[in-house]
Structures are given as C-alpha cells and as structure tokens.
Structure 1
Amino acid sequence: MEKQRTFYNKRNLAIDMMRALTMLIMIFVNDFWKIHDVPHYLEHAAYGEDFMGLADVIFPCFLFSVGLSIPYAIEIRYTKGYGSLSTIKHILSRTFALLIMGVFIGNSEARLAVDAPYSIASYWVLMVIAFVAVWNDYSKVTNHSIQGLIPIFKIIGVFLLLYLAISFKGADGSIFSSNWGILGMIGFAYFFCATVYLLFRENAKYLWYIGFTLILIAILKTPLNSDFGGTSILDLPKGNFIDGFIGLFHIGNAVLTAFTMGGVLFSISLAKMENLSKSKQWFYILACGVISLVIGYICHHYWIVSKISATLPWLFYVLCISLLTYTLMDVLTHYNLTGWFKWIKPAGTSTLTTYCVPYLYYAASSLTLITLPDQLTSGLPGLINCFLFAILVIWTAGFFEKINIKLRL
C-alpha cells in the first residue's frame, strides 16, 4: 500500500489533459442549443435511436476521468495525515455540493414562468454568485479583513440558494424539484465509487468484484432491443425489493456508475503497471480498449447503442474511447508534446468553475438581448461560434482563478 501511495503522490498530467479536453468538448456540444443545422454525428441521439454522436460520448468520458482521479485524491489525503473519518466527511461534503449545484442547474434548464419573481438571467447570476460564495477556494486569501468576512460570504450564499429554491417557478408551473442534472449524476457516481474505494483500498480484488457486479446489474436491468422483446432480463413488477435496494444507491441500471468505477479500476491498474516500460503500458491499455470494443460489438446484438437508455454497447464503446484518449494524452506527456495544453489548462484545474461560467455568459446575452446574425448560427460558422465560445469560457475560468475565484469541493 505504501508503494501505491507513492505512485498517487505524483501528479498525472495525462489525467489533467484528458479532463480539460473533455470539458472543452462538453462546453462545445452543450452550446449547440443556440445554433442549427448541426451535423447529426455531433449531436445527441434521439430516444430509441440506435446511434451514438459526439455529444453522447463526452459525459461518460468525464465520469471515467472522475473515477481516474478518486484514488489519487484519497491516497493524497492519507499521505497528508488525514484519517478515514475525515475522508468520509470529505466525500460526503463533495457529494452534497455536487447534488446541490446539480439540482439548481437542472431546474433552470426548463426555464422560468413569466410570473416568476426574477428572469432566468437573474437566476443564473445569483446561482453562480451563491456557488462561489459557499464553495470558493479561500485558501489563497491572505488579507485578514477578507478572511474575517468568509463566514459571512458563505451565509449569504446559503440564503441566496434558499431564496432561489423557495421562489422558483418553472415555465410549466412546477416548483423547485429534485432534477439532479449532470452534476447531480456525477455526484451520485462519485459518492458510490469513492466510498467503495475507501472501504476496499487495501483489498483491490473487491473493487473488481464490485465493478463486475455493476456490469451484471446493467445486463439484467437494461431493456433489450425490440428483437428480444424490448424489456430487461430482470423485468420485475414496480416496487420490488431489488429495484428498491438498488435505488438506495441512486445508480439506476448501474451504467453511469460503471463508467466512474471503470476509471477507478483503471487508475489502480496504472499503479500496478508503474514499473513497466511505457510501451508495455500502452500495449496493455490498448489491448483493454480493443477488448472493450469487442464486448461492445457483441452487446450491440442484444441492446441498441443509446446514451438516453444507458445501454451496455454505449458503456463499452465509450470505455474503449476513454482508454484510447488517456493513452493519447499519456503519449503526448511522455514525449513532452503538451504545449497546446496551456490554452485549455483551466478546464483541467478549475473544472467546476469552467462548467459554471457559461451560465454567466448566457445571462449576459439574455439581459443585453445581444444575438448573433443567423449566418453565424448555422452550419460550419455556428460550430466555429460554439468552439470559440468554449475557449472563451475556459479562458474566463483561468482569469477567475488568477483573482482567487475557483470552486473547490
């Protein structure tokens, strides 16, 4: 275990690069809502469609990178002298923050009723201000006067969130609800995988058992394609004990959690392969990628490829893509071909801030009524528009980091 801690004490630049690249593309595809004539291969597949576009790949790749980072984060805490109880509290606090942020962002996606007490732009601005007030990294604040105000900032942030939640009124008349959003789904997957890693970090074989169990749940609970009846293998009546037990962990059919668990298991494997040459490491990783691709192809005979339905072919195809992406980042790191990374580095080091910044720009656009001409929101010009927006968002997060505004859980 001591050797493993030494491995995790070293920063893995390939993970930062993978996370930054994933976040760049996530912001890019999330901005498609404001343009039209987007090529289908870049978009999300429709419900029931046997297809996987670029937008269907990004979120699970990010879940995989979350899992990659879990052993690093926990082992570094032990190296610094933190105990198990402190680490459990840390996992719970991070999960809680992700769920809270996720539910506020998730509720805003349905927009607001015309008689809501504020506009959607005001909601987004107040939401981000509250997030920063409560979860900003204040560790670099050296001014004693400002340090004394930090508890007040946090209290103001909490009351802002309470106000938004209580006064919220959706476009369909709905009240604030448990729409967890992307961050909430990340939070549930993170909590499960971080907890089981903490429990079984000394006995890695149990982590593999848990990983295989998640896949077994996915096999049993994911509806088959129409040729095989269109229902899951374990199609039990609603309210059954098994679904209720699985529901306690908020893992659904376990596919999303399996992405994060896959990252954890891959991270453990990297530690085991530390003494191998880079060429051998890359060979084994690529071999695993090919195996994942083959399993995905076999699964595709029984399930469609679908992000919305979280199917097994989607799981294994994206695991293959994640492994190949990490390998590429590791090759670039090994040969010191990382100059490009500085342009998107904040997306890898201030990831949560980067995720929230677009809402400030969307709010500014809504408040100022500034819109681009139709020629810049269609086809290739529209895609360039979305890509430049993603770069702008990342650079803005970098600027915020320089002035000590950085969300840290």
Structure 2
Amino acid sequence: MAIHNALTTQRILSIDALRGITILVMIFVNELAGVQGIPIWMKHMPADADAMTFVDMVFPAFLFIVGMSIPFAINNRLSKGDNMWQLQLHILVRTIGLLVLGVFMVNAEGGYNEQAMGMPIALWSLLFYAGVILVWNVYTFQSNVLRWVLRGIGLVLVVVLAYLYRGGEDGSQTMTPQWWGILGLIGWAYLITCIIYQLAGGRLLLVLSGLAVSIVFYIVGKSDATESSPVAAWMSGQTGHAIHTAIALCGVMVSLFFFDQKKKQETRVRFILAFVFAGILFGVGYILRPYYTISKIYATPTWALYSAAVCTLLFAFLYGLIDLRKVSGWTSFFKPAASNPLLTYIIPYIVYALMHLLHIHWPEQFYQGITGIIWSAVYAVIVMVIVVGLNRLKIRLQL
C-alpha cells in the first residue's frame, strides 16, 4: 500500500494551535460541568434535545485533530524507514494504549468496590497514573536498560492494578469495558482512520469515499434491517465508531487540502476547497437532520458533520493567521499542552484523585454562577502551567 502524499515532517503551528485551544477548552468545560446556575449554552445538551452547544464540539475537535495528524504521522514514519509491518505494529500499539487508558479511567469513575479492592479508588487511580507515566514517558537519558526497566515497572504496576480491581456490591466483578471512555473511542477512530487512509493510498477522493461509507454504515446500522439481518444488527452496535471515524476522516481531508505538496495548487485554491468542503458538510448534515437529529450522546451524523464543518473553518482561519500571516507569538502558550496532549488530559484526573485521597475540596462558591465560570477558566490555565512544570521535570507522555 503506497502512500501518494508528500507532506512536511515539520510541525505545523496552526495544527498545534488548534490542538492546544481544544485542550484548553476541554479542561474548561469539564470543570464547568459541575457549576450550577450557568447558561444552557455552556453545558452539554441532553441526548434528545436535537441541539448542540460549543461544549458538544470539544470531543469532535479532538477526533478532527487526530485525523489531521494521521497523514503526517504515517508519512513521517515511512520517511524514517519503517516498512508496512512496522507501521501497522506502531498503529496497533498506539490503539491498544488508548483503549487500555480509556477502560481503566472508565472503571475508576464508578461501579468499583473499594472494600473488595483493599484500597481507596483514589489511591488506585494515582497508582495507575504513575504506571502510565512510567510506561509512556519520553525518557531523555542515554541508558536503554534503565529506560526499559522503568517501563517494565510501570507495566507491572498497571497489570497488578487491573488484577486488584473489583466491582459490584459483592466485589465479584473484575475490570470490564463498561464503555471505552473518551480515549478508547479516540483509539478506535484512530485505528479505523489509519486503515482507511492507507487503503486509500492517501488519495483524496478515496478518503472522501471512506467518509461517505462511514455515514452509510451509520444509516444502515440504524435502519429496520437490523431486525432481520445479523450483519445489520452488528452494524447497529458500531454506529458510534463509524461516526467518530467520519469526523477523523474530515480532518484527514483538510490536511490533504492544505499540505499535500504533490498537488500544485495555489493557496487560494486550497482555501476554496476547504470552504466548499465545509459547505458540503453543513449541507449533508442539514439534509440528514430530520431523520437523525443532532445529538452528541447518540453520535448522530448531523452532530458530526456540523462539528467537522466548524473545525474546518476554524483551522482555515488559524492557518491563514499563523502560518501565512505569521501572527504566531501567542501560540507559545499552547505549545506545551499541544505537544503533550495525553499528559495534559490526565492531569485533572490526577489532581482530583489526589484531592479525594487527602479529603480536600474546592470552596462551594467555585461551583456557582459567574464565580464558577471564572474559576473554570482559571483552573484550565493552571493545568496548562502544570504541564510546563512537568515538562521541565522531563515528564512528557507519548503513545
């Protein structure tokens, strides 16, 4: 499977900026979720509301950025000499890592039995994150032996914690994928998108076909055929993965619009392609809305297509501002988090596990009205600063 794109191996500032902005907003809205007395447009919409807010677009933005990064990552590994089997192994390992992280984090959210586990869930979680850091940290010292010893310790710690986990009232349940968690869902979308991108050979029209197939997969999975066809019944349980993949494929296409150097198009034409693509996404989403409504919880096509369209326009703006007009000084604030998204993602979970273990609570005023909104914004900035501090301590995570 040959890849027909020619992409730079350098980091694209506008992609990093979009990733950093998404992470900052994610931390903000996650903290905001517990605040009372705030406008409805600052919260997730209910599953049956047939509506969405900017909060409902944070997860799609992550998927979109994952898709944008895939062509660069695959082309970069191939340019470094990876053969196709080495590339598939790398993709598989990253996927498994995301699935493991997602499952562990979901099981720590509920259903656990601390008495049967013999430890508070907060301590279990902190030990898990310690294992994650040991396994996936980017070590800068020269000793390969020490590097693998530390990773081995982390892996053993994670396995032991999985063994110790107990759930249910009688403590008889072991760890199970109740659902895959946000990271797990990203993992599945990443895997499927990588497969489609490679099968398409990076060709734009074939990637677009993969996007169309993902939407059709959802439609078939939600059709009445599920009652009579075992295949359609199976598809009905995978519709969420299809829609998440569709969002990631939109990100792939936008990267190809702007950065495929084999296509000798003027910059103006690349922007036109992006705007037309966003218009098509809005249009198809509008056509499908009467049949499937807008719902992040149900992962409907309209929610996905509207979100991807907004992400396309937002990226086009950032690319024009940062990479073309060179207004990029402000992006340095986002750089540590943008280059360490996994570390930034888990920091709030580490903070709250530590607070729970030490019986520390934020003041009640932090969860009321305008004070809560301000605190959520301040907290998001604090987390970004913590990332900078951890980077200076040589803690960086990379799957």
**How far off its partner does 1:253 sit?**
6.1
Helix, strand or coil: the match of 1:8? coil
Q: For 2:273, which of 267, 284, 299 is the aligned residue?
A: 284
Compute the displacement of 1:107 (Å): 1.1
8 Å Cα contact 1:193-1:260 kept in structure 2: yes
Matches within 5 A, 1:172-251: 174-178=173-177, 179-201=179-201, 203-221=203-221, 232-237=222-227, 240-244=230-234
CA contact 2:217–2:239 (8 Å) conserved in 1: no
Is contact 1:8–1:71 with CA below 8 Å preserved after alignment?
no
Aligned to 1:326: 315
Distance in 1 (alpha carbons) for counterparts of 2:297 and 2:50: 11
Q: What is the aligned partner in structure 2 of residue 258 from structure 1?
A: 246
* Alpha-carbon separation, structure 2, partners of 1:389 and 1:268: 36
Deviations 1:27-81 (A, max 9, x none): 1112234432232112111122212122211001110110000000000111111
Pair 203,280 (structure 1): closer, same or farther in 2 beyond 3 Å = closer
Normalising by structure 1, what TM-score?
Answer: 0.89
Alpha-carbon separation, structure 1, partners of 2:97 and 2:123: 21
Mapped partners of 2:167, 2:286: distance in 1: 42
Q: Aligned letter for 2:165?
A: F
1:390 deviates by 1.4
175-184 vs 191-200, which deviates more?
A: 191-200
Q: 2:189 touches 2:241 (CA, 8 Å); kept in 1?
A: no
Whether the 8 Å contact between 2:20 and 2:335 is mirrored in structure 1 is yes
Distance apart, 1:2 and its partner CA: 8.8
Q: Note if contact 2:227-2:233 (Cα within 8 Å) is conserved in structure 1.
A: no
Q: Does 1:407 align with 2:397?
A: yes
Q: 1:125 maps to which residue?
A: 126
Q: Is the 1:112–1:119 contact (alpha carbons within 8 Å) kept by the matching residues of 2? A: no
Partner of 1:159: 156
Confirm or deny: 8 A CA contact 1:27 1:390 kept in the other structure: yes
Query: Which segments of 5 or more consecutive residues in structure 1 lack a partner in the other structure?
Result: 222-231
Matched residue type, 2:80: K
Corresponding letter in the other structure for 2:246: A
Would the aligned equivalents of 1:192 and 1:257 in 2 still touch at CA under 8 Å?
yes
How far apart, in 2, do the equivalents of 1:312 and 1:246 lie? 14
> Contact between 1:105 and 1:181, CA under 8 Å: does it hold in 2?
yes
* Letter of the 2:200 counterpart: F
CA contact (8 A) 1:31 1:386 kept: yes
Residues 293 and 320 of structure 1 are in contact (CA less than 8 Å); yes or no, is this contact kept in structure 2?
Answer: yes
Residue type matched to 2:131 in 1?
A
In the TM superposition, residue 171 of structure 1 has moved relative to its aligned partner by 6.7
Contact 1:344 / 1:395 at 8 angstroms: preserved in 2?
A: no
Pair 1:376-2:377 in alignment: no
Aligned-partner SS, 2:226: coil
Alpha carbons 1:121, 1:366 under 8 Å: kept: yes
Within-5 A mapping of 1:41-80: 41-80=41-80
1:295-314 superposed matches below 5 A = 295-314=284-303
RMSD: 2.3
Moved more, 176-185 or 38-47: 38-47
Q: Deviations over 1:344-372 (max 9, x none)?
A: 22221001111111112112221333323
Q: 1:190 to 1:311 in 2, by over 3 A?
A: same
Indicate the residue corresponding to 1:134 in structure 2.
Answer: 135
Instruction: Say whether residues 1:10 and 2:7 are aligned partners.
Output: no
* Shift in Å, 1:204: 4.7
Shift of 1:9: 2.3
Q: Distance in 1 between matches of 2:56 and 2:167?
A: 27
Tell me what 1:315 maps to: 304
2:259 corresponds to which of 271, 279, 297: 271
- The answer (yes or no) to whether the contact 2:49–2:295 under 8 Å persists in 1 is yes
Read off the aligned partner of 1:125 and give its amino acid letter: L
Equivalent in the alignment of 1:340: 330
Q: Aligned in 2, Cα 1:208/1:281: closer, same or farther, shift over 3 Å?
A: closer
Distance 2:202 2:367 in 1: 53
Task: Answer whether contact 2:226 2:236 (CA < 8 A) is retained.
Answer: no
Whole-Å separation in 2 of the counterparts to 1:191 and 1:348: 21
C-alpha displacement of 1:126: 0.7
The residue number in structure 2 matching 1:386 is: 376
Give distance in 2, aligned partners of 1:86 and 1:4: 19
- Between the aligned partners of 2:296 and 2:3, the Cα distance in structure 1 is 39
Alignment partners' CA distance in 1, 2:224 and 2:328: 47
CA deviation profile, 1:215-265 (whole Å, cap 9, x unmatched): 1112333xxxxxxxxxx3344128712343686xx5546111111111122
| In 2, Cα distance between equivalents of 1:187 and 1:319 | 18
Structure 2 alignment gaps of length 5 or more: none
Aligned length: 392
